[in-house]
């Protein structure tokens, strides 16, 4: 079954304690991306990756890091989390380029990770 | 960079009526416009998309139109049903923003309520 998985699904942590949210896809997609979703602000892109070892900043990259050492995995790293990073995080994957999407079965979002930073 | 505005923020319709959600974008270089549906507590799902070389695309009860000159695109849902109730997001991809093809800019979403 084609899917994007994220772990953990829920996390409560404290300011400054490094954490990693994992994302994995089994569809051999080149493109992977991280978004955060906040009430009234919609979905904002944090980082994205076009392929292994190729990453780029999205709209709101401050305070986050990513790596793409393998095609299937794209972890999101918060080196020193702060309360303003409390949010719902989604990972997504797709074939590239996005503008060549052939239909609704070509982009997948993970189930989301709800992060609370106290 | 690209900016995507979405209206209205909330929309309430009677079952069977049509619903229209509109988005505008700022950079004429944007070339791909997907629409996502997000039900409460669930992940966004791509429901329809359109590329800049196409003016309209239809899939059963949903359709998307694109006006490149005016830089706006719209989602049309006909014969709405209660299960259409969700938050809908438009987005745009601008190949020049960030120097790549991967930067997806979302609108802030429209909460659609379909009343039985």
The torsion angles phi and psi of A100, rounded to 5 degrees, stand at: -105, 15
Residue of A nearest to B30 (CA): A99
Distance between B16 CA and the closest CA of chain A, angstroms: 24
* pLDDT tens-digit map of B6-57: 999 999 999 999 999 999 999 888 888 999 999 998 999 989 999 888 899 9
| B60 inside 8 A of chain A by CB | no
Closest CB to B101 among A59, A97, A104: A97
Which chain A positions have a beta carbon within 8 Å of B6's beta carbon?
42
Q: Considering chain A, what percentage of its residues have pLDDT values greater than 70? A: 91
Which chain B positions have a beta carbon within 8 Å of A100's beta carbon?
51
Say if residue A97 is preceded by a cis peptide, omega within 30 of 0.
yes
| B108 inside 8 A of chain A by CB | yes
Contact criterion met (CB below 8 Å) for A107 and A92: yes
* pLDDT tens-digit map of A76-107: 999 999 999 999 999 999 876 666 555 555 67
* pLDDT tens-digit map of B65-101: 999 999 999 999 999 999 999 999 999 887 665 444 5
Nearest CA among A106, A105, A104 for reference residue A96? A106
Return residues 17-46 of B near A (CB < 8 Å). Answer: 31-32, 34, 43-46
Q: Which pLDDT belongs to residue A40?
A: 85
Residue of B nearest to A97 (CA): B101
| B93 inside 8 A of chain A by CB | yes
Which chain A positions have a beta carbon within 8 Å of B109's beta carbon?
42-43
Q: What is the pLDDT of chain A when averaged over all its residues? A: 90
* pLDDT tens-digit map of A33-43: 999 999 888 89
A32: which strand partners? A49, A93
- DSSP assignments along B51-98, one per residue: ETT-SEEEETTEEEEEETTTTEEEEEE-S--GGG-EEEEEEEE-TTGG
Using DSSP's 3-state secondary structure scheme, residue A10 falls into strand
Count of CB pairs separated by less than 8 Å, A with B? 81
């Amino acid at each position: 079954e084609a899917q994007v998985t994220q772990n953990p699904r829920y996390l409560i942590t404290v300011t400054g304690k490094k954490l990693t949210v994992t994302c994995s896809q089994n569809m051999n997609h080149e493109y992977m991306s991280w978004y955060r979703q906040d009430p009234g602000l919609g979905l904002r892109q944090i980082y994205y990756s076009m392929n292994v070892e190729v990453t780029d900043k999205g709209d709101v990259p401050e305070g986050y890091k990513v790596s793409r050492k393998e095609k299937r995995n794209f972890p999101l790293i918060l080196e020193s989390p702060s309360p303003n990073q409390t949010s719902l995080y989604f990972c997504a994957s797709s074939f590239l380029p996005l503008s060549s999407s052939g239909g609704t079965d070509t982009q997948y979002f993970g189930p989301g990770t709800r992060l609370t930073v106290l | 960079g690209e900016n995507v505005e979405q209206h209205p923020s909330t929309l309430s319709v009677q079952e069977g009526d049509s619903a229209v959600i509109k988005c505008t974008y700022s950079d004429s270089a944007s070339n791909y416009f997907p629409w996502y549906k997000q039900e409460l507590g669930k992940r966004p799902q791509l429901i329809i998309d359109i590329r800049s070389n196409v003016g309209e695309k239809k899939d059963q009860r949903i359709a998307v139109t694109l006006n490149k000159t005016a830089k706006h695109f719209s989602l049309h849902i006909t014969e709405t049903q209660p299960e259409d109730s969700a938050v809908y997001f438009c987005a745009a991809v601008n190949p020049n923003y960030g120097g790549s093809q991967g930067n997806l800019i979302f609108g802030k979403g429209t909460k659609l309520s379909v009343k039985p």
